[in-house]
Amino acid sequence: MNVHEVIGEVLQKIRPTEEERAFIEGLMVELRGLAEETIESSGLDVKPYFVGSLAKDTYLAGDHDIDLFLAFPLETPLEELRKEGLELGKAIAKKLDSYDIAYAEHPYVRARYKGVSVDLVPCYDVKSWKDVKTAVDRSILHTEWVNENIKGKNDEVRLLKRFLKGINAYGSEIYVRGFSGYLAEILVIKYGSFLDVLKNADFMLRQKVIDPGNWLKHEYETAMNTVRREAEEDRPLIVIDPVDPRRNVAANLSWEKYGRFYFKAQAFLENPSTGFFFLEKPREGDYLEELRRKGAHLVTLIFGKPNLIDDLLLPQLEKSARGFEKVLAREGFGVLGWEVGHSEGKAFIMLELDRIERERVRIKPGPEFFTERGLDFYRKNERVWLKGKRLYAEKVVKESVTDVITELLEKNQVSLGKNLRETIKGADILIDYVPKNLEVEAYLFLSRKKEGLKV
C-alpha cells in the first residue's frame, strides 16, 4: 500500500463514529447540566469548562476520558479553591456512578459515569498566562488556542497521536517522558499535517526552538529565559507554549522517546505500513536463554510496593536503580542495564551485570609511610608493604554481589528514592532467577524488546 492508502485505512479505525460522537456529545451536555445545577445550589461563583482532547475533537475512537474543570474567580485564595473545589467535585460526582479522590498539584475528583472516566478538577478562571496560579490553569487556555488554530486538521492530530502510541512514544507522564497530546496538536498546527510533522523530525531537532505563539517577538525576555533554561537542561526540543512564554511544552520529552520518533518517522516514510500505528505485543521468550546468549547475569531486588501513584513511585525506583548502577560500578561490577516496575503488590529493580562474583583480593594503595595517616594505615591492614615511600596493602573483599549489595545497603552507601530506603533494605535479592509473574518482564528487559529500536 502507498502512504495515502495506509493513512486512509488507519483513519477508519481511529476516527470516532457518528454514534460515538453522539454519545460523547450527549454525555457532555448532561455533565454540564449537572455541574451547573450543583454550582448554583452551592452558591459558588464557578464556571465549568470542558478541556482536553474531547473538547478539542482530537480524541481517538474508544478514548473517552472527560476533563471537566471547575474554574474559580482569580481572587479566590488557593486554600479555599482546594477545599471548595474538592467539595464541589464530590457533590457533582455523587450524582454519577462512582468516584474517588486523586492527587496532582492539589486534590481532585476522578469519577465514572456510563462507563467513562470523568475528572472534576478545580482551577482558576484564567484569561491570560499572567493569571496562571496553578499548573492545571493553562488547560483552559490550551483548549481555546487549539480550537482557534486547528482549522480542520483534527484527523491529522489523530494520526500523529496514534502513530506516537504505536511506536511507544506517547504520554508526557514522568515515567513515560514521551509526547503529550497537546504537543502533538501544536506540531500538526505548526507543520500542517501528520506527514509533514514526520518529514520535519530531523529539522525540528536541529532547529531546537519552536515558537508557535511568536513569544520571541512579543515577550522576548520571558521567552528567552525559557529557551536558556531548557537549553541548559539539554532538552531535545524547546516548544514555547503558545499560551505561556514561561513554559516548554516538551519539557518532559526524553531523548530516548524523541529518538524513537526520529527513527520510526523515517522508517514509516520509507516503507509505510499500518503496523506503525498499532503497537504489537512483543513476542515472549525465555529470559534464561537470553542470559546464556549474552553471558550476563540478572540480579533482581523485590520488595513491598509503597502506596504511591506511578508518577511518584517510578521516578524513585529509577533513582534507586541509578544508585545501584553507580555504586556497583565502583565496586567492580559492570551494570549493563536496569529496569524497574511493580507487579502484584511488589516493586522490583532488575540489574543486568557482567558478573556476580569478583576477585577476592584487591590492592589498596595507602599514604606515605612517615605520615600520621601512614601509621594508621599500617595498624589497620593485615598485609602491608612499601613501594618507594608509599604503603600498599591487600584488601580482602566480599566475593558475591549479594553480599556486596547487602553491605552497601547496611552502610547507606546507595542513593535511593526517599520513600524506598527502608523497604529496599529488606528486599529479596534473586540471582539469575525471577518469580513467574516477572518472567516476561525479565525477558523483555534482557532482550531489549521493550524499548529497542532494532531487535
Domain coordinates in residue numbering, the chain? 3-147, 150-276, 287-357+399-447, 361-396
Q: pLDDT-derived band of residue 99, with 50, 70 and 90 as boundaries?
A: confident
User: What is the sign, positive or negative, of the torsion defined by CA atoms of 54, 58, 62, 63?
Assistant: negative
The better pLDDT of the pair 310, 184 is held by 184
How confident is the model at residue 451, as a pLDDT? Answer: 78
The better pLDDT of the pair 283, 263 is held by 263
Query: In which region does residue 285 sit, left (phi positive, over 0), alpha (psi from -120 to 50) or beta (all else)?
Result: beta
Please provide the CATH number assigned to the domain covering 3-147: 3.30.460.10
Examine the pLDDT at 226 and tell me if it is beyond 90.
yes
How confident is the model at residue 361, as a pLDDT? Answer: 84
Examine the pLDDT at 223 and tell me if it is beyond 80.
yes
Contact 162, 90 (CB under 8 A): no
Strands 209-210 and 238-239: parallel
Same fold, 150-276 and 287-357+399-447: no
C-alpha cell at 344: 502484584
List own/partner pairs for 7-15 with CB under 8 A and 24 or more apart: 7/159, 7/194, 7/195, 7/272, 9/274, 10/159, 10/162, 10/274, 10/277, 11/155, 11/158, 11/159, 13/61, 14/60, 14/61, 14/158, 14/159, 14/162, 14/277, 15/61, 15/155, 15/158
**Rounded to an integer, what distance in angstroms lies between the CA atom of residue 443 and that of residue 287?**
4
118-171 tens-digit pLDDT: 999 999 999 999 999 998 999 999 999 999 999 999 999 999 999 999 999 999
Task: Kindly report the number of other CB atoms within 10 A of residue 107's CB atom.
Answer: 16
Q: Which range among 14-28, 353-367, 419-433 shows the weakest confidence by mean pLDDT? A: 353-367
Q: pLDDT-derived band of residue 359, with 50, 70 and 90 as boundaries?
A: confident
The better pLDDT of the pair 175, 188 is held by 188
How confident is the model at residue 133, as a pLDDT? Answer: 92
Contact 162, 60 (CB under 8 A): yes
Examine the pLDDT at 97 and tell me if it is beyond 90.
no
Contact 28, 52 (CB under 8 A): no
- Quick one: CA torsion of 78, 84, 87, 89, rounded to 10 degrees? -70
Pick the CATH number of 361-396 from 2.30.29, 2.30.30, 3.30.70, 1.20.120: 3.30.70
Contact 13, 60 (CB under 8 A): no
Examine the pLDDT at 398 and tell me if it is beyond 90.
no
What fold characterizes domain 150-276?
A: Poly(a)-polymerase, middle domain (1.10.1410)
**Rounded to an integer, what distance in angstroms lies between the CA atom of residue 172 and that of residue 249?**
10
Question: What's the chain look like in SS3?
Answer: CCHHHHHHHHHHHHCCCHHHHHHHHHHHHHHHHHHHHHHHHHCCCCEEEEECHHHHCCCCCCCCCEEEEEEECCCCCHHHHHHHHHHHHHHHHCCCCEEEEEECCCEEEEEEECCEEEEEEEEECCCCHHHCCCHHHHHHHHHHHHHHHCCCCHHHHHHHHHHHHHCCCECCCCCCCCECHHHHHHHHHHHCCHHHHHHCHHHHHHHCEECCCCHHHHCHHHHHHHHHHHHHCCCCCEEECCCCCCCECCCCCCHHHHHHHHHHHHHHHHCCCHHHCCCCCCCCCCHHHHHHHHCCEEEEEEEECCCCCHHHHHHHHHHHHHHHHHHHHHCCCCEEEEEEEEECCEEEEEEEECCCECCCEEEEEEEECCCHHHHHHHHHCCCEEEECCEEEEEEECCCEHHHHHHHHHHCCCCCCCCCCHHHHHCCEEEECCCCHHHHHHHHHHHHCCCCCCCC
Q: What is the mean pLDDT of the chain?
A: 93
Examine the pLDDT at 455 and tell me if it is beyond 70.
no
Examine the pLDDT at 283 and tell me if it is beyond 80.
no
- Single-letter code of the amino acid located at 231: A
How confident is the model at residue 213, as a pLDDT? Answer: 95
- List Cα–Cα distances, 62 to 13, 57, 65, 158, 269, in angstroms: 10, 13, 9, 12, 27
Q: Locate cell 546507595: which residue?
A: 414
Q: Which range among 11-15, 42-46, 194-198 shows the weakest confidence by mean pLDDT? A: 42-46
Architecture of domain 287-357+399-447: 2-Layer Sandwich (3.30)
How confident is the model at residue 140, as a pLDDT? Answer: 95
User: What is the sign, positive or negative, of the torsion defined by CA atoms of 94, 99, 100, 106?
Assistant: negative
Mean pLDDT of 277-284: 81
The better pLDDT of the pair 98, 391 is held by 391
Mean pLDDT of 353-367: 89
Task: Kindly report the number of other CB atoms within 10 A of residue 375's CB atom.
Answer: 13
30-73 tens-digit pLDDT: 999 999 999 999 899 999 999 999 999 999 999 889 999 999 99
Q: pLDDT-derived band of residue 454, with 50, 70 and 90 as boundaries?
A: confident
